[in-house]
Amino acid sequence: MQHLLTPYSRKREPFAWWDGAFTEEQLDWLQQKAKEATEQAQVGNGADGQVSESVRRSELNWLSKDAECSWVFEVLSHVVSSINAEYFGFDLTGFGEPIQLTNYHESRQGTYKWHQDFGASGSSRKLSLVLQLSNPEDYEGGELQILTTGQPSSMQKKRGLITVFPAWTLHQVTPVIKGTRQTLVTWVSGPEFK
């Protein structure tokens, strides 16, 4: 399987893209798992997390590294290794958390306002990855935006595209106003920066 790396357009932008990591069949499987999400998304982690519909409106499903889902982690590990070596150069230890599948509905104007991906207690998230599972024509709104040099940059809405950025980068998902949007989100951890 060929993986195509599309670097960020300007060196000062804090993100990179990877296209073609998953087959259409694999994307279909992941998207179906996201559509089956039932857990209401929270703001915050662990015991401190709470539902706050003014900040975040979506449903979640989770994938653990077990026999059924280990292939997902393997594909993403290859992507992370390549992008990190080429662009970020972070000291990484791997996926310290399950993979999150997210479903955003127009009925709730699914969204996640500006935030950073801080890790749970004892976790040091360094990179965030967002894999687009939906076809762009299946929804309106739901733009992944990353704050760069004081201005938000909207990421491409392309099925199968993975956007990678440092976990402390401010980002948001604008409200979905028509249809539904599904994504895979995961984080890569490492030793704390010194």
pLDDT tens digits for 100-153?
999 999 999 999 999 999 765 556 899 999 999 999 999 999 999 999 878 899
Average pLDDT (185-194) is: 88
Residue 182 contacts residue 31 (beta carbons within 8 Å): yes
List of residues 6+ apart from 163 with CB closer than 8 A: 15, 16, 17, 129, 130, 132, 144, 146, 155
Class of domain 14-36+56-189 (CATH, top level): mainly beta
Residue 46 — pLDDT band, cuts 50, 70, 90?
A: low
User: What is the residue extent of each domain of the chain?
Assistant: 14-36+56-189
